[in-house]
Structures are given as C-alpha cells and as structure tokens.
Amino acid sequence: MTTTATPTPVEKVAAGTADYLDQRTGIGTFVKTFARKIFPDHWSFLLGEIALFSFITILISGVFLTLFFVPSMNEVHYEGPWAAMNGVEMSEAFASTLRLSFEVRGGLLMRQIHHWAALIFMAAIVTHMMRVFFTGAFRKPREVNWVVGFLLLILGLAAGFSGYSLPDDVLSGNGLRITDGVVRSIPVIGSYTSYYIFGGEFPGQDLIPRLFTVHILLVPGIILALIGLHLFFVVLHKHTQYPGSGKSDKNVVGYPLFPIYVAKAGGYFFTVFGIIALMAGTMSINPVWNYGPYDPSPISAGAQPDWYMLFLEGSLRLMPGFTEVVIGHYTLSLNVIIPAMVVPGILFTLLAAYPFIEAFATGDKGEHHVLDRPRNRPFRTAFGVSILTAFFILVLAGSNDLIATHFHMSLNDITWAFRVLIFLGPWFAFWVTKRICLGLQRKDRELVLHGHETGRIVRFANGEYIEVHKPLDAHERWLRVQHVADRPLEIEPAEDSRGVRRKGYALDRMRQRLSQTFYEDRVEPVTPAELAASHSHGSHDEIESRTEQEESPAQLAMDPIGGGRNLVDPQDETAPDGRNRRS
C-alpha cells in the first residue's frame, strides 16, 4: 500500500507562484538551462567572487551611511561627545562624519565595514586581473571582457577617491589639493577645468555635494552595469579551465551551478562579509577625528591616500621639479603632467591593450578556453611582472616619508634610490622572470623525457651505475606537453618574383619583429619521437619496466610526427575525478 503526501499550504503557494511566473515570463526554461551550467573548480576562480561580494558589502553599508551623512561644505561649530573638537569650526560633512562615528548606534562599525570592503574590493579586482593576465584568460573570445574588467578597475579607483574625499578631513583635503594641482597643470584648459570642478577657487563650496552624487549614484550605477555585462560574458563564453588530462577547448570539466555552486557562493558570501566585519570591529581605519577638519595650513608626514592610489602619489614625489618650463607668460608644468598623466597613462594603456597586442603578434584567431601555465608564456609572464614591479616601486615611493621616519633614513637618498629603481627595476624583473620561466620549461622537458628521480642506484654487470627514474604517468605528462609553443611569424619577401615591392610589407615586417620579441626565446614541448628515443636505453629498459609498468617505446612511437599534444589523448576519460564534462 502506497500513500501520497498531501502538499502543505506553503508548498501549494510556492508551486502556484512559480507556475504563474513561468507561464508569463518563461523563466523556468532560463533557470533550468542556467542551473545546469558547468563551472570548473579551482580556488583562484574565487578571486572574482571576493570582488563581487565585497562590492555587495559596500552597497549594503553605503545605504546605511547615506542616511546620516550630510554632503555640505557649510561651516558649523561642532558640539558633541568628542570633546577635543568642541567649538571647532568645520564643514557639515565633517561634523556628520563625527556624529556617525560617535552618536549613531553602529555608525562607526558601518563606516569601517564600508572602508575595509572598498580596500578588499580593489585588492580582489587587481589580483583577479593578475590571474586572468598570467594564465591568458583574456584571449579570444574574451578580449572584450578583459576591457570590461579594466574599466571596472578604473571605476573602482574613481569610487575610492570620491569616497575617501567626502569626510572633508585634513587627509582627504590634501588629496583634493593635489588633484587641483594636477588639473591646473593641463595646458590651456587646466585653470578653467579646476574652476568648473570646484565651483570656484579651491576648495569652493560645491565639491563635496558633487563628489557625493558621483560616489553614491553615478559610479556605482556604472559598476553594477559592467558587473552584469562581465557575468553575462562569463556565461556566454563558458568558463576557462586550467590545463589537465580530460580538458580541452571543446569541453568544461567541473560541477553544475545548481546546487553545488549556489550553495558554495552563498556560504562564501557570508564568509567574506564576516571577515570584513571582523576586520572592521577589531582594526581601526581612517580615524578622521585624529586628523581634524580640512585646513590648507597643516601638512605633515604620513599624508598617504589608500593603497590603490599610492602609485600616483609616488609618481608625483619622484618627479624632479626642474622640468617645469616657462614659455612666454605661460608655465608648462611637466613636473606634474608627466608623473600624474603620462606615466599612469602609459602603464594603464599597455595593460588595457595587451590582449590585442598579443593577438596581433601571434596571428592567432582561434578560441581558447584552456588556460596557459605562466611558465609556457615567458614574455607575457615577464612583462606582467615588470608592470607590477613598476607599480610596486611607485607605491613605495608614495610612502617615502614614512620609510624615512620609521627607518631613520635620508628622505633625499630614498627618493633618488626610487628614481633609479623605476627605470632599472622593471627591466631587471623582466629579465629574471623570463629566465625563470625558460628554466621551468626545460625542467618540464627533463621530467617528461627521464621521469622523477627516485634515489635508487643500480649497478650492471659491466660495472655501470645508473639512477632509476620513475616515469611520469599519463596525466602528469599531458600537463607538461599539452601546450603549443608559438613561433615567430614568417612573412613573404618584400618583393615578388618580378621585383615589385609587395603592398603591406611594412606592416608585416613590424608584426614579425613584434612576434620575434614575444617568441624568439622558447622551449619546444617533447614530441612522441623524442620520448620514444629517451626510453631506448637497451638493458636500462628492463630496470625501468620492472620499476613502473609504462607504455613501451614502440607504442609511443606509433605516431612520431607532431607536437607534444600527441603523447596522450586530451579526451582521456580516466581523469582522476568524478566531475561532469560538458561540451
């Protein structure tokens, strides 16, 4: 006898609501398709989720702060629980920040949650972009999504700058004064632009209300739109995956979105939020009551912005002052234009345009869904490390006064050291990183050809001693030979058979030179013929066959033509996992 459970009233309401929505929106088909989407499982893919969850935390805490903050530069005299500030003249913006910190229940906690979440948001974006860059996840068809991510980085900088400028304290005021100087350095239109931004002579009366609108409305709205576009591209193009046996550009090995990743993402959000809340409750950040309201006269050491803006501060501090040029009655402030606009512009332009530059150099028009191992792309990895080195040097230069005071060193010596390092450091980092990558590739070749060292020494009857090596299994070998070593492009001669100069040769020649820069130094992956030859050691083979049951050299030499991809089937269904595979 079987019994059928009677649906509860709640289940009936839920089922009826779902059916109502499905019949009118067709959402059931969308949810069904999306829930079956396969995503690979790797810890580095969580970096983007940290950025997303940090931004959600920013929005939640920002709504709370908006209810109490007064975006006004009108002067008032403070009277409140912070006795040191009683009677001090300040803007309403600064006074409301003090009220948020000391009078609103939970206000200080929400301020610090908001600030810490903003710092982690930027750190997660930078780290996520580093992962995408070094693994080549920006290649076709994801070039546009790389640009979207780059725009999110720039908008994050804008959101952070406009946010920490709102309290109108000494630290943020000094940052705005630097901004005014940078804007004024723009030839011809600089002074007019500054007057327009500040609503008059600095600091004016309109900047804080304008920054408030930018910070809570304009920038977050664009960021939300770009996040939606970014996630849409991730779903549209399917997720990238790290190389390994059973993985190719035609499938995705991983777990379905529902229920696996839905549960993981939910728990991970509360983990990120909890860590940010713990940091906010235990670590003080931006104590504006120690700085006081903005006053142009007091300037001291330690006036650094948040970490993600330190590179601009460092660039300004390193530039010598003698580059200021006077032409007639006009002053051209190269000592401000170069460090504040030219240097960051070059670095950011290279970062944004790199996917297109690499595609132009390789001539590669195929789709890529399997990621690169950084060691297999020496130029790209070295270039990325050199860019990071330049930013890191500028960040340290932005704290040269703190380094001088904490380590009792000469500020001038530190500044000159960084001026030298900004030229030599990126070049040295590029050279070292490229050498390391090539060395790791040679180590991979050695492992594929000879296997792992075991420490076991065997003596033959003729007196010869050898160390027995343990051959790599199919999965280890595939990881080290699955990549294609790109070669410099070959182009047609400058002149045809009749001696007529070929149209487009100059562009092809430039492309070839760029390709040589990228791929002239390379290490080819092991071919089947090379592997078969390395296993043909006569009597040595008997020792190896007893140590590890492996394929015979004859089997490996069945197809001696081609690259390393022929050493093992990329669609090997014996991959050591139980995950789903979907084309």
| Per-residue model confidence (pLDDT) at position 265 | 86
* Mean pLDDT over each residue of the chain, to the nearest integer: 84
Q: What integer is the mean pLDDT of 567-573?
A: 46
- Per-residue pLDDT tens for 197-253? 888 888 878 889 999 999 999 999 999 999 999 999 988 888 899 998 888 888 888
Q: What's the rounded Cα separation, in Å, for the pair 386 and 437?
A: 14
DSSP string covering 326-392: EETTEEEEHHHHIIIIIHHHHHHHHHHHHHHHHHHHH---S---BPPPGGG-HHHHHHHHHHHHHHH
User: Does residue 494 have a pLDDT over 80?
Assistant: no
DSSP string, 465-532: EEEEEE---HHHHHHHH-S----------SB-TTSPBPTTHHHHHHHHHHHHHHHSS--PPPPHHHHH
Q: Classify strands 75-77 and 330-333 as parallel, antiparallel or unpaired.
A: unpaired
Give residue-wise pLDDT tens across range 280-307.
999 999 898 888 888 877 666 667 788 8
CATH for 35-308, among 3.30.1330.40, 1.20.1270.30, 1.10.3720.10, 1.20.810.10? Answer: 1.20.810.10
- Please give the pLDDT value at position 302: 63
Q: Is the pLDDT of residue 560 over 80?
A: no
Q: Average pLDDT of 461-471?
A: 84
pLDDT computed for residue 570 by the predictor:
44
What is each CA distance from 453 to 316, 457, 472, 528, in whole angstroms? 53, 10, 11, 21
pLDDT digits (tens, 9 = 90+) for 108-164: 999 999 999 999 999 999 999 999 999 999 999 999 999 999 999 999 999 999 998
Whether the full predicted model's pTM is greater than 0.95, yes or no, is no
pLDDT tens sequence across 42-80: 889 889 999 999 999 999 999 999 999 999 989 999 988
Per-residue pLDDT, averaged over 362-389, amounts to: 91
What is the structure's pLDDT at 558?
38
Of the listed ranges 23-32, 140-149, 363-372, 444-453, the least confidently predicted one is 23-32
Domain spans of the chain?
35-308, 373-493+502-537
> For residue 9, what pLDDT band results from cuts at 50, 70 and 90?
confident
Task: Tokens for 504, please give them.
Answer: 């487009």
pLDDT for the residue numbered 569: 44
Antiparallel, parallel or unpaired: β 465-470 and 452-459: antiparallel
